[in-house]
Amino acid sequence: MHCFASFNHQIISAENSFLSAISPAAFYGRSIFTTVAIYHSKPFLWQKHWLRLTKNARKIGIGLAEFTEQTIKNSFLEIIAANKIINGRARLTFFDESPISTWHTSQKHETSFLINTADFREISEHLRLTVSPFRTNSTSPLSGVKSCNYLENILALEDAKMKGFDEAVRVNERGEIVSACMANIFWLKDGKVFTPSLDTGCLAGTTREFVLENYSVCHKKAKLNKINEADTVFLTSAGIGVVQIAEFQEKKFSRESHEITQILKPQMNTDEHR
């Protein structure tokens, strides 16, 4: 993480960004976030991230009346400048700090907002994928919401790493492929590109959407055998971009780089997605 953070539009030392311990965010995890890639000191796919944040906020009842898209973007650009970021990533988080009636609390803010930045995640050149034993629930009220209730994802990722893998495929209660622990998933078979449909409980990732806009992709409710049968598998997220899998369980994929892995490179030099 970098030196400075933006907390409620104030640039402060990252170490001094504090959230109230008596708040719905701290008590119940009522908060949402998004991770935004930064290329050439500009937020990438900003509109997509903002639209998802506002949609998620409405779904779980986080008030954003204190904020506007422009004020949030201005704070974003300020922290990029303060941390002197050329290429990297930022996490934007909205925390519900409204009063808790059952505990008779009173809070200064209804919602607090934090931006912290970091370098891109380090990814193995030989990415190994397994299957997570922890299933997702497509009927959960948090399905499709990027909330800070991310402990299941973290435990699934830690389990994969304890077993010697870098990531894991997660399936839902029907055994359908949903995603990786920290990324969306695509696979290629006989020249066709596939990805799980949102009905599986898959998160509508912004990098996922960018791929969908640039390639013909079939949305599927698919079982794990489709990964075993695939010619190539990709993971996508703002933190890692688009990366190709080297192994799934004991299956090894071709090391030849597919063109999809290059999809973000031309965009790094344009102003189209400011």
At 24 the pLDDT is 82
Q: Can you name the CATH fold of 4-118? A: D-amino Acid Aminotransferase; Chain A, domain 1 (3.30.470)
Rounded CA separation 239/37 (Å):
6
At 268 the pLDDT is 58
Average pLDDT over residues 61-88: 95
Residue 247 · residue 131 · CB < 8 Å:
no
Give the pLDDT band (50/70/90) at residue 107: low
pLDDT for residue 271 is more than 60 = no
Q: Is 207 or 273 the better-scoring residue by pLDDT?
A: 207
The domain locations on the chain are 4-118, 128-269
Element spanning 58, H or E = helix 46-60
- In DSSP terms, 118 is beta-bridged to 89
At 274 the pLDDT is 35
Average pLDDT over residues 239-246: 95
Please tell me the least confidently modeled range out of 101-110, 216-225, 231-240, 258-267: 101-110
The per-residue pLDDT for range 112-126, each reduced to its tens digit, is 999 999 999 888 889
Q: Is 211 or 20 the better-scoring residue by pLDDT?
A: 211
Q: Quick one: which of 243, 217, 184 has its CA closest to 35? A: 184
* CATH class held by domain 128-269: alpha beta
